[in-house]
Structure 1
Amino acid sequence: MFSEIISSHFPEIDSEYLDYVTGILSEGSDEFSSSDDVYEAVGEVLQGLDDKPDDDIEKLCKELFNMMKDDKKASKGPVRILDAPMQMGSLTDAGNGTGDDHSIWIAKKDTSSTVDKKKLGKAEEKIKQKQDKRAADDSKFRAKPAEKGMATASQQESRKDDYENNDPSVKVSDIRIDNFDVSFGERILLQNASILCAFGRRYGLVGRNGVGKTTLLHMISSGILKIPACISILHVEQEVVGDDTLAIQSVLEADEHREALIKEEKEINATLNAAGSKRARSDSKLSGRLAEIYQEMEDIEADKAPGRAAVILIGLGFSDQDQQRTTKEFSGGWRMRLALARALFKKPDLLLLDEPTNMLDMKAIIWLESYLQTWPTTLLLVSHDQQFLNSVVTDIFYMHSRQIDHYKGDYNMFVQTRNEKLKNQQKEYESQKMYRDHIQVFIDRFRYNANRASTVQSKIKLLAKLPELKPVEKISEVVLKFPEVDKLNGTVLQLDEASFHYDPAKPIFEKMDVAASMDSRICIVGENGAGKTTLLKLLLGALEPTKGFLHRHRNIKLGYFSQHHVDQLDMNSNSVEVIQKQLPGHHVEIYRGALGAFGVSGELALRPVISLSGGQKSRVAFAVMCFGSPNFLILDEPTNHLDIETVEALGHALNKFKGGVILVSHDERLIRMICTELWVCANKTVTALEGGIDKYKELVESEIKFAE
C-alpha cells in the first residue's frame, strides 16, 4: 500500500530504504495524528533520497496520512446497533481459563518489529553517508563558526530557509535574515534582529560607534549568519597581497570564470598547435570544446574586460603607468583601492563595503558616487560620509538598542522620518501616561469607598490590561571638548619659499609659501600622492625643507592626529592604561577626565582597546593628542572610523576651539562646517582656492568628465 505510493515518487528507491520507510509507517499508523507527524517520522529520510523540495515531501506525507485514515475507516467495518445492553466484561476470555487475551480491555499491541534488522542497518548507514556528504558540501559554501575571541551569532531558520541557505542550486535573489542575535563576549550587540535586502537596492548601514556595524558585515561575509547559498558575497576588508602581479591583471583575475576560460583556451590551442600532433589537430572533441569556449567568452564580453577594468582603476586614481606596476610597489592604502577595484569589477550578488571613502581622495569619492548609483546588484555599505550616503543609497538600516530599523530613502530622508517618528512616539507616550494618571487618580480617590468598590475594581482591571508604558528612547548627544588655550597673536606657523624632495629627480614641492594664525581653519585637499601628508610633516617639523625656511611661534604647542594613530594603540591595554603609558605621572582620575572629554567614560574606558570600535579608538587617540593642551591642531583624516554624529560633534568642537586648525579631510560636511580657507596640493605647490569646497568640486567633476 505505502510502497506503491513511495515508489511512484521515487522510482529508483533502494529496497532497503523502501522497507525501512514502509515499516515505520505500518508500525506507527495508529500513533500518527496528522501529516506533520508523518513528516517528522520519515520526512528527512525521504528528502535524503533525491533532495526534493520541502513542499513535495510535505505533499507526499499528507497523501500517506490520508491513506492511513482511509484504511482505519475501512477496518472498522459496518456499524451494528445492539438490541439490548451488553456486559462488556463477559467478552473477555480471561475468566474461561483459555489464557487468550482477546478482550478489548486487556488486549496488548504487538510491538515486535516487522523490519529486517540487517536491511534497517544498511538503510541507516546510507542515510548517514548522505547527511555527511551534504554537510561536507555545505562547508564549501559557508564558513566555519566564529573563532575564539571573535563576535558570535545565532540565527533562527525555518525549514525553507535552511533549504535555501544550504543548496546552491536554489535560485533566489533577495536576502532575508530573520531572528538573529550577535554578541561580542558578554556584550549583546543585536537581539532578535531581522533584515531584508531586496535585489538591486543599495542599503546604508548607520548607527553610533560600537553598535556593531562592522561586526554585522563580518558575520554576513564569513557565513556565520547564513544567506542563500546561491548568492555570491564580496566584502572589501583586506588589501590585495603585494606580489609581482600587475595592477590591471590583479583586477582582471577577480573574474575567475573569465580567467578559467582563458587558461583552458590557451591549453587547448597549445595542444592543437603542438609540433607533429596531427592527431590532436584532428581531434573533434578538443575543437568542439574550443568553439564552446569562444562562444562563452563572447557571451560574457570577455574582450571588453580590460577596458572595463581600466575605467575602474582610472576612476579610483590609478594612472596608465600605475596600472602597469606590480601590486608589491603600492602602499597598503593603494592596495586597499585595488581590493575595491576588484570588487567593482567582479560585481558579486551582494557587495559589502565598510567605510569605502576612508581610502579615497575627493576626486575618487566623486567618481565612486557616480559609479555606485547604477550598481546592478545588492549593495550594503557602512559610511560616515553624509554626502556619499545621500548620493548612493536607496534605503537606510539604522542600528540602535540591539535592533535594526529599515527606512526608505537616503540619509537626509532617514533623519527627517526618524525625528517625526520619535515625536509621534513621544506624543503617544504622553497621551497614554496622562490617561493612566487619570485612572490612577480615580482609583486612589475612591479605593475605600464601598459605593464605588465595583467601579474601582473595573478601573484596576482596565489599568492592568493597558499595554506596557515605555518611555521614548532618547538619542544621547555626542559631545567632544578640546582644551582651553591662550591665544597667540599674528602668524604662528609659516613656510617661506620652501621646497622638498625625497629624490632630487622627483621634487614634491617647489618654492611654496603658506602661513597660518590662531584664527586659521584650513582644510588641505588634493589627489592622493600630491603631498598632503608631507606638507603636514613639514609644518610639524618632522621633515625639514630641502630649500627655504619654516617659521614657528616660540609658544606654539602642536597637537598632531595621524590617520595611523588608531593602529598604533596598544590593543591589549584599556584606554586609561594607554594614555597612562604614553604620558605617565598623573593620577588616574586625570586620565579618566581627559578620556571623558571625548566620550570614553565609565566602563568603556576600562575595556581592552581591541574590543572598541574604530570610532571609539579614534576618540582615545584624540584624548592622547590633547592631554598636553596643544594650542594648534594638525589633523590628518580625523573622520576615519567616526560615526556621523561624532563627525558633527567634532565640527562643533573645532569651531569652539580657541587655537588654530589645519586638517586634511575628504568629508564634505566637516569641511563646510569649519573651513574658512582651502589649500589645494597640486603641481608641486600649494595654493589657496577662492570659492572654497564648491569651487574645488567643480574643478574635480570637470576633470572626471574630461577623462571619460
Structure 2
Amino acid sequence: MISFENISFSVAGRTLVKNSTVNIPSGHKVGLVGKNGTGKTSLFRLIYGEITLDQGNLKLNKNARVGGVSQEVPGSSVTLLDTVLAADRERTDLLQKAEEETDPFKISEIQTRLADIDAWSGEARASTILNGLGFDTHKQKLACSEFSGGWRMRVALAAVLFSKPDLLLLDEPSNYLDLEGTIWLQAYISKYPSTIILISHDRALLNNSVNSILHLENKELHLYSGNYESFAKTRAARLAHKQAEAKKQNLRRQHLQAYVDRFRYKADKAKQAQSRLKMLAKMEPISISSEATLKKFDFPQPEELSPPIVNIQNASVGYGDQTVLSDINLRIDQD
C-alpha cells in the first residue's frame, strides 16, 4: 500500500527521519507512536505531499486516495447529514450527472457505477457514522452552524470515514470524542476495509483497533507486528538485550583500555598494546535511546486514613441569598 524506501526528511532545517525503510501492506491498521516532537504529524504531511523528501522514495499504490481530518467543517447552513454525504465526491458527481444526462448509454454507465459504489445506501451509511459519533437523527438534520468547533471536528471525522479513502490518516481522533465515541471508533477502525495510519496516545484505542505499530524514535522508523501492548513487550525485551550488550561492551572496552594503559610504553608489550588500541578504535559504541534511559517510578502504598474521609452534616449550599441544596448529610469512608 505504502512504502518508505531509505527516506530522510527535515522541517525547518531539523532532520526528523533519516535513512528509514518501512513497507505497510494494504489493509493494515497501523498505530504511529513516538515521543512528542519527533515528527509523527510531519510524516503525515509528507504523505499528503505538503513537504518533500531530502532523499529516498515514498511509494503509494497507483490512484490511491489519501484522506484525513485537518480541520473542523465550516459553520455553514448545510445540515450535518448533507455535509457528510458531500464528502464522497464521486457519489455526489454521479448523482448530479444522473439528473442532467440525456444520453441513454451514458445514463446506463452512470447507474452501473452508482450501483458499484453502493450509492443508494449512502444516506443510511452516513447516518450510522454520525450516530456512532454522537449525533442522533434530530441533530443530523441541523445546520453545522448550530454546533461548536469540537462537535464540527466530529462531523469532519464522519465525513472522511464516509468517503472511505484507500489510506486513512487519523491524528489523535479521540481528542474530540467522548468515551462512547472512542469505543465506537475502535470498532469502526478494526473493520475498516482499507489501510489506516493512526497517531494516538490512547493505549486502549491502539490496543483495540490496530494490528501493527510504527515507532518513530531516534530519527528512525520501525514497524512492529501486533497492538500496542505487544509492541511494548517486544520493545522492552529488545531494549533489555541492548542494554546488556552495551554493558558487556563497556566492560570489554575497560579491559582493553587497562591493558593499553599498563603496557603501551613497555617494549616487549608495545605491539600487543597497539593491537588493542586498534580494537578499541574499531569498536562501534552501542547507543541506548533516550526513552530507554527514563526511570520508572514506584509509589508506595499510602497509609489508610482514619474514617471518615469526608463528613457533611445538615449543610446547605447556594449563592447570594439563593439556597440551591439544603439538609445535606454525606459521609465518605475509604472503602
Category of TM-score, reference length = shorter chain: 0.7 to 0.9
Displacement of 1:206: 1.4
Pair 1:200-2:27 in alignment: yes
**Which of 289, 301, 320 is the equivalent residue of 1:473?**
289
State which drifts further: 237-246 or 225-234.
Answer: 225-234
Displacement of 1:200: 0.8
Counting only pairs closer than 5 Å after superposition, residues 231-380 of structure 1 correspond to structure 2 as: 231-268=64-101, 286-380=103-197
Pair 1:181-2:14 in alignment: no
Question: C-alpha separation between the residues in 2 aligned to 1:435 and 1:245?
Answer: 71
Question: C-alpha separation between the residues in 2 aligned to 1:307 and 1:445?
Answer: 82
- Call closer, same or farther: CA 1:474–1:300 in 2, change over 3 Å: closer
RCO higher in 1 or 2 (8 Å CA, sep ≥ 6)? 2
Give the match for residue 191 of structure 1: 18
Pair 1:548-2:318 in alignment: no
- Call closer, same or farther: CA 1:495–1:327 in 2, change over 3 Å: farther
What is the identity, as a one-letter code, of the residue corresponding to 1:260? D
Q: For each residue in 1:61-82, what CA deviation from the matched residue of structure 2 results, as whole angstroms up to 9, or x when unmatched?
A: xxxxxxxxxxxxxxxxxxxxxx
Pair 1:217-2:33 in alignment: no
Question: C-alpha separation between the residues in 1 aligned to 2:315 and 2:217?
Answer: 47
What is the identity, as a one-letter code, of the residue corresponding to 2:259? F
Contact 1:357/1:365 (8 A) holds in 2: yes
- Call closer, same or farther: CA 1:497–1:366 in 2, change over 3 Å: farther
Contact 2:27/2:194 (8 A) holds in 1: yes
Displacement of 1:377: 1.1
Contact 1:234/1:350 (8 A) holds in 2: yes
Q: Secondary structure at the match of 2:191?
A: coil
What is the identity, as a one-letter code, of the residue corresponding to 1:396? I
Q: Secondary structure at the match of 1:369?
A: helix
Q: Secondary structure at the match of 1:373?
A: helix
Displacement of 1:356: 0.6
Displacement of 1:545: 12
Counting only pairs closer than 5 Å after superposition, residues 392-541 of structure 1 correspond to structure 2 as: 392-466=209-283, 468-475=284-291, 476-477=294-295, 490=310
Displacement of 1:327: 1.5
Question: C-alpha separation between the residues in 1 aligned to 2:78 and 2:35?
Answer: 39
Question: C-alpha separation between the residues in 2 aligned to 1:546 and 1:306?
Answer: 50
Question: C-alpha separation between the residues in 2 aligned to 1:353 and 1:437?
Answer: 49
Contact 1:180/1:194 (8 A) holds in 2: no
Question: C-alpha separation between the residues in 1 aligned to 2:261 and 2:245?
Answer: 24
Contact 1:175/1:199 (8 A) holds in 2: no
Q: Secondary structure at the match of 1:180?
A: strand
- Call closer, same or farther: CA 1:495–1:224 in 2, change over 3 Å: farther
Question: C-alpha separation between the residues in 1 aligned to 2:278 and 2:296?
Answer: 43
Contact 1:221/1:235 (8 A) holds in 2: no
* Larger Rg over CA atoms: 1
- Call closer, same or farther: CA 1:342–1:187 in 2, change over 3 Å: same
Q: CA RMSD in A?
A: 3.0
- What TM-score, normalized to structure 1? 0.41
Contact 1:181/1:193 (8 A) holds in 2: no
Displacement of 1:262: 0.6
Q: For each residue in 1:528-560, what CA deviation from the matched residue of structure 2 results, as whole angstroms up to 9, or x when unmatched?
A: xxxxxxxxxxxxx8xx99982499xxxxxxxxx
Question: C-alpha separation between the residues in 2 aligned to 1:178 and 1:550?
Answer: 69
Contact 2:211/2:226 (8 A) holds in 1: yes
Contact 2:8/2:16 (8 A) holds in 1: no
Give the match for residue 302 of structure 2: none
Contact 1:213/1:399 (8 A) holds in 2: yes
Contact 1:181/1:192 (8 A) holds in 2: no
Give the match for residue 303 of structure 2: none
Q: Secondary structure at the match of 1:451?
A: coil
Give the match for residue 276 of structure 1: none
**Structure 2: gaps (5+ residues):** 53-57, 298-308, 328-333
Question: C-alpha separation between the residues in 2 aligned to 1:447 and 1:252?
Answer: 79
Question: C-alpha separation between the residues in 2 aligned to 1:251 and 1:456?
Answer: 74
Displacement of 1:436: 2.2
What is the identity, as a one-letter code, of the residue corresponding to 2:51? I
Question: C-alpha separation between the residues in 2 aligned to 1:401 and 1:361?
Answer: 33
What is the identity, as a one-letter code, of the residue corresponding to 2:3? I
- Call closer, same or farther: CA 1:433–1:317 in 2, change over 3 Å: same
**Structure 1: gaps (5+ residues):** 1-172, 273-285, 480-488, 499-540, 552-675, 678-708
- What TM-score, normalized to structure 2? 0.82
Displacement of 1:238: 0.6
State which drifts further: 442-451 or 355-364.
Answer: 442-451
Q: For each residue in 1:422-469, what CA deviation from the matched residue of structure 2 results, as whole angstroms up to 9, or x when unmatched?
A: 111111111122222222222222223322333333333333333x22
Counting only pairs closer than 5 Å after superposition, residues 517-666 of structure 1 correspond to structure 2 as: 548-549=324-325
Contact 1:495/1:548 (8 A) holds in 2: no
Question: C-alpha separation between the residues in 2 aligned to 1:302 and 1:402?
Answer: 43
